[in-house]
Structure 1
Amino acid sequence: MPSNRIVRLNGIDLHLAEQGEGPLVLLLHGFPETSHSWRHQLEALAEAGYHAVAPDQRGYGGSDRPSAIDQYSIFHLVGDVVALIHELGEEQAVVIGHDWGSIVAWNTALLRPGVVRGVVGISVPPIPRGALPPLTATEQRFGPDFYQNYFQEPGVADAELGKDIPGALRRIYAGAPAPEPSPGFAGRFLDPSTLPAWLPAEDLAVFVDQFTASGFTGGLNYYRNLDRNWEQTAAWQDAPITPPALYISGENDGVRHLYPLDAAARAIVPNLRGAIDVPNCGHWTQQEQPDVVNTALLEFLKGL
């Protein structure tokens, strides 16, 4: 079983779930998730001889939630990863992320390659810095109601998702599009009559308890920095992500259509060692198909 503790770094407290001893592997969750989304990987990595650590990233779970939106920039998120590696007594780690955690993982490998032994992105591939601010690009591609644009107004999505946390999480995790969507983000999805097979009621209850305590604002603030991140990373335009890398995605993950692993994405990861398609799998990759994901991770780690 993982143990839990709080570490203080960069002026905030981060909650960690950790298991095992050996080379350090960090596991970064996405939205709306927490360290609990890595429950299957913590055990598998520990048994294989690694020190597996899954933080609740800032804004989530048992970690601190700074109030200012600009405290959730990509530099803050990467800064937390680098500080955590050093706080755990290491010079380097393998950094693995899912969803927003992938964005943080890829950017850690881009901005601080010296501390990254290897990087794995699950669901979200490396995304080259585009010619336009991201929210302008998404509005042009998908219209002003695209979820990332909808998330921008402080308080709006926060209130919508917080109004019925169990219902919102059920809909989002089940991920079936509603034939007649209601306004907001969770309303785009059907409320399932039964939970997905990968999400037992007791695991959903953990997530519900965590978001009842934390709210959704911290996680939404990641999206509210998309244009700021784009402005501030101009110096890294076309810079390569040099550490050994792996990309894993579910065959039915809608992110593949938003952000494909195309030639432009591959071009910025010259040391990409594989791109793994996980069959019968949607967006919640490491929870839906843990055995496939764990096998791929251990194979990649063995090759470093």
Structure 2
Amino acid sequence: MTSSSSPSWSERFVVRDGVRLSCRDWGRPGEPGEQSDRGEQSDRGEQGGFRGDQGGFRGDVLLLHGLAGHAGEWDATARLLRDSGHRVVALDQRGHGGSDRNPSDGDVSRAAYVADAVAVIEQLGLERPVLIGQSLGGSTALLTAAAHPELPRALVLVEAGPDGAKPGVQEQIGGWLRAWPVPFPSRAAAVAYLGGGTDAVGEGWAAGLEERADGLWPRFDPEVMVRSLDENATRAFWDEWTALACPTLVVLGQGEHGGIIGAEEYAEMVRRQPALHGTSLPGTGHDVHLEQPGVLHRLIVDFLADGGSACARHTDACLGVHSTS
């Protein structure tokens, strides 16, 4: 991880009910106390000068990765948002990355993920942050915004939606995770396997692996990942979607293999939230944030700056007819 402008992030820890959560706190440009890419603990205070309008500050952002992912997936997007004037925090969700791999309370429910996000917001002093989540992180963001409408300024879902139930999802995902040929003998081998032919995706996934004496290993337990999908396998979240009260942007993939949100689901999302802003990006799949971080950043910044007029509203944007690139 490199930065051409300034040092990058510091590691911060939040503890909720005995579960330790690791966060990458990117701060904002020119802020004292920034650390190097090694992620060393910062000694700055909780206030840190993050709030206020001076210096073109554009508000706080919380980034939430997907299942079996890690906070580092957001590095490119986080740096761009930070350099645009936002304070940015990326969370390793419970069971992932630098957070507790096997939560001591055994709870990997949707409610636990939401409570973690709220704890990070409160303990790190994020003021009405924009919640941005990809895939399962988008589910966390959606449910947090629905349960705590006073918390977010806006919501951005990347390849995420409320549809369900998906009875076979645990078997499918569990089989895939257990099939990883670990340990990977090299970074190149991990990139080739995890990228599915897309280097940017492979690099993003490989960056989350742990280096041991015998090779590279995932920093998660496949069985914990499978359990975290219990609710997604049995129910949809349309009531929570309908309850959303903040401006919302949905960004979907439109690559060779497509994204995971179909036209029918998106149409229902629009019907229930007519003010929704949405777009799909040609040439991207499920990992939009890894494939096109610059485009994603511009969509987010434009959406926040002008309420979304720069993004196609629900008019066919994600129905396979029109797209924004």
TM superposition score normalised by structure 1: 0.74
Please give the alpha-carbon distance, in whole angstroms, between the structure 2 residues aligned to 1:46 and 1:237: 30
Deviation at 1:257, TM superposition (A): 5.3
Deviation, 1:207, is: 2.1
Decide whether aligned partners of structure 1 residues 204 and 243 sit closer, same or farther in structure 2, where only a CA change above 3 A counts: closer
Q: Which moved more, 1:18-27 or 1:113-122?
A: 18-27
Distance 1:75 1:120 in 2: 19
Which residue does the alignment assign to 1:173?
195
- In the alignment, the residues of structure 2 paired with residue 237 and residue 295 of structure 1 have an alpha-carbon distance, to the nearest angstrom, of 27
The one-letter code matched in structure 2 to 1:279 is: P
Aligned residues: 262
Aligned to 1:224: 230
- CA pair 89-245 structure 1, distance change in 2 beyond 3 A: same
Secondary structure of the corresponding residue to residue 22 of structure 2: strand
Alignment partner, residue 141 of structure 1:
none
- Equivalent position of 1:96 in the other structure: 132
Q: Distance in 1 between matches of 2:283 and 2:159?
A: 14
Residue in structure 1 matched with residue 302 of structure 2 by the alignment:
299
Q: CA deviation at 1:148?
A: 3.3
Which residue does 2:38 correspond to in 1? none
Query: Residues 251 and 277 of structure 1 are in contact (CA less than 8 Å); yes or no, is this contact kept in structure 2?
Result: yes
Determine whether 1:263 maps to 2:264.
no
Structure 1 position 200, deviation (Å) = 7.0
Task: Indicate whether 1:161 and 2:180 are aligned.
Answer: yes
Per chain length, whose mean CA-contact separation is higher, i.e. which structure has more relative contact order (CA < 8 Å, sep 6+)?
1
Alpha-carbon displacement from aligned partner over 1:250-282 (angstroms, at most 9, x marks no partner): 21263345575433222333431x211112111
Tell me the alpha carbon deviations over residues 15-71 of structure 1, each in whole angstroms, 9 at most, x when there is no partner.
111212342100000023211110111111111111111010000000013358961
User: 2:85 aligns to what SS in structure 1?
Assistant: coil
Which residue of structure 2 lines up, in the alignment, with residue 27 of structure 1? 63
Residue identity opposite 1:265 in structure 2: M
3-state SS, counterpart of residue 107 of structure 2: helix
For residues 1-304 of structure 1, what are the structure 2 equivalents within 5 Å? Answer: 1-21=8-28, 22=50, 23-66=59-102, 71-127=107-163, 134-136=165-167, 146-151=168-173, 159-161=178-180, 163-164=182-183, 170-174=192-196, 192=197, 196-199=198-201, 203=204, 205-209=206-210, 211-227=217-233, 230=235, 236=239, 239-252=242-255, 254-256=258-260, 260-272=264-276, 274-303=277-306
* 1:284 Cα offset (Å): 0.9
Unaligned 5+ runs, structure 1: 137-145, 175-191
Report the alpha carbon displacement of residue 93 of structure 1 after superposing the two structures with TM: 1.2
| Contact residue 10 and residue 83 of structure 1 kept, 8 A | no
The structure-2 alpha-carbon separation of the partners of 1:164 and 1:269, relative to structure 1 and needing over 3 Å to count, comes to farther
Give secondary structure in 2 for the equivalent of 1:281.
Answer: coil
Q: Alpha carbons of 1:168 and 1:90: their partners in 2 closer, same or farther (altered >3 Å)?
A: closer
Indicate conservation of the 8 Å contact 1:242/1:269, yes or no: no
- Of stretches 263-272 and 210-219 in structure 1, the one that deviates more from structure 2 is 210-219
Higher helix share: 1
Q: Which residue in the other structure is 1:187 paired with? A: none
Instruction: Provide the rounded CA distance (Å) in 2 between the counterparts of 1:204 and 1:172.
Output: 7
Q: Supply the AA of the counterpart residue of 1:45.
A: L
Rounded to whole Å, the distance in 1 between the matches of 2:79 and 2:240 is 38
Instruction: Give me the whole-angstrom Cα distance separating, in 2, the residues matched to 1:65 and 1:200.
Output: 22
Q: What SS does structure 1 have at the residue aligned with 2:95?
A: coil
Task: State the distance in 2 between where 1:246 and 1:281 align.
Answer: 17
What SS does the corresponding residue of 2:25 show, helix, strand or coil? strand
Q: 1:257 to 1:168 in 2, by over 3 A?
A: farther
Change (3 A) 1:100 1:69: farther
CA contact (8 A) 2:253 2:286 kept: yes
Shift in alpha-carbon separation, 1:204–1:124, aligned structure 2, 3 A: closer
Identity of aligned residues (%): 25
Aligned residues of 1:103 and 1:124 also touching (Cα < 8 A): yes
Instruction: Give, in angstroms, the shift of residue 199 of structure 1.
Output: 4.6
- Looking at structure 2, the residues matched to 118 and 238 of structure 1 have their Cα atoms a distance apart, in angstroms, of 14
Distance in structure 2 (CA, Å) of the matches to 1:275 and 1:157: 30
Deviations 1:110-154 (A, max 9, x none): 111111110000011343xx6xxx244xxxxxxxxx4434447xx
Q: Does the residue aligned with 2:150 lie in a helix, a strand or coil? A: helix
Amino acid at match of 2:170: Q
